[in-house]
Structure 1
Amino acid sequence: MEAPGKAIPRKSNPRREVQKLYGNRLRLRVCGLHREGDRLLMVRHRGIGPTDTFWCPPGGGAQFNEKAPDALIREFAEETGLQVDIGEMLFVNEFMQPPLHAIELFFTVNVTGGTLRQGIDPEMELDDQIIEEVRLMSFDEIKSYPPEEVHALFRYCNSLDDVFRLRGYLR
């Protein structure tokens, strides 16, 4: 029996939370590619993929009645603390790691303000956050991770310049 006034600590299971919130349905995601010199802004999530570590560019789900560029501006603010202008839409990726399935629209992004910080995913409880790190990474650093720990878009690229040359639907 629990002692009066003592809370039972929650056992965070990020994989279960991700599946509960986003699993077994098709989502529309918007993702932003922000480059500073030879580095790309990346976010590390837990609870996604076979190792529970997943690096990808910032982004997230568009809400009903929200235009894709507006969703990306919101997602950047939530995840990174940065204010951005949305540039060109570059490519579409279909993310499929059952039970997760998302159509992802990738845009270029220019930072206009804010301060880079580790943000939050507002759909998650504060003690169950899945964003673990936000930082600029070199292409070699991104490629040093096992393929299952980074977004599939990097499999199509041999350099950071290649990322910004991707077009159309990635197969």
Structure 2
Amino acid sequence: MYVNLQNQTLDKAREEVTKLYGNRLRLRVCGIYSEKDRLLMVRHRGIGPTDTFWCPPGGGAQFGENAHEALVREFKEETGLDIAVGELLFVNEFMQPPLHALELFFAVKATGGQIRQGSDPEMSLDGQIIEEVRLMSFEEIKSYPPEEVHTLFQRCRSIKDVFELTGYLKQ
């Protein structure tokens, strides 16, 4: 019964991801935050072939909201941190059907708050996809199969490399 309930919850998450974000082009803003040689990462369920997907915090900009405002809001919702948005590092085109997003990645610094697991207010309670938020070493990120972490990490060998990515990252 427990496994069946888990499967139902995962199916609900997949349905919500597709309903809210699937089969359309979406603009996302993402923040690269580091602390003591670790990156802040968010684990989502219902995304990708294994239903586990680690990526830096971020989300969709809303109509009338500039990229910096959207990133400040998304960071607070997902991670509990208040941030100051720094320079634009790179643009990534994320294409993993049914998802397609143009992602603007910014360097960010914490200005307050505490790291905690947040939520997506646009999703129902039983359709939430954020499962974990934590600081991870680069080695820990790279220990996951490539399909379970954001593609930007395939281009990097260290945390320093992440902050040196520039331009448009083509898949």
Q: 3-state DSSP class of the match of 2:157?
A: coil
Q: CA deviation at 1:37?
A: 1.8
Q: Which ranges of structure 1 fall in alignment gaps of 5 or more residues?
A: 1-8
Q: 3-state DSSP class of the match of 2:121?
A: coil
Q: Does 1:76 align with 2:68?
A: no
In the alignment, which residue of structure 2 is the partner of 1:103? 102
Q: CA deviation at 1:99?
A: 1.0
Q: Does 1:62 align with 2:34?
A: no
Q: Does 1:131 align with 2:130?
A: yes
* Identity in percent: 74
Q: CA deviation at 1:17?
A: 1.3
- Equivalents in 2 of 1:137, 1:67: separation in Å? 29
Q: 3-state DSSP class of the match of 2:164?
A: coil
CA RMSD between the two structures: 1.2
- Equivalents in 1 of 2:140, 2:114: separation in Å? 23
Q: 3-state DSSP class of the match of 1:96?
A: strand
Give a deviation string over 1:7-56, Cα, whole Å, max 9, x none: xx893221121011100100000000000021000000000000000000
TM-score (norm 1): 0.93
Q: 3-state DSSP class of the match of 1:153?
A: helix
- Equivalents in 2 of 1:19, 1:40: separation in Å? 27
Residue type of the alignment partner of 1:38: D
- Equivalents in 2 of 1:99, 1:39: separation in Å? 30
- Equivalents in 2 of 1:106, 1:72: separation in Å? 10
Give a deviation string over 1:140-160, Cα, whole Å, max 9, x none: 000000000000000100011
- Equivalents in 2 of 1:52, 1:20: separation in Å? 16
In the alignment, which residue of structure 2 is the partner of 1:24? 23
| Map 1:82-121 → 2, pairs under 5 A | 82-121=81-120
| Map 1:143-154 → 2, pairs under 5 A | 143-154=142-153
In the alignment, which residue of structure 1 is the partner of 2:46? 47
Which has more helix, going by share of residues?
A: 2
Q: Does 1:38 align with 2:51?
A: no
Runs (4+) of structure 1 exceeding 3 A deviation are: none
Q: CA deviation at 1:126?
A: 1.3
TM-score (norm 2): 0.93
| Map 1:154-169 → 2, pairs under 5 A | 154-169=153-168
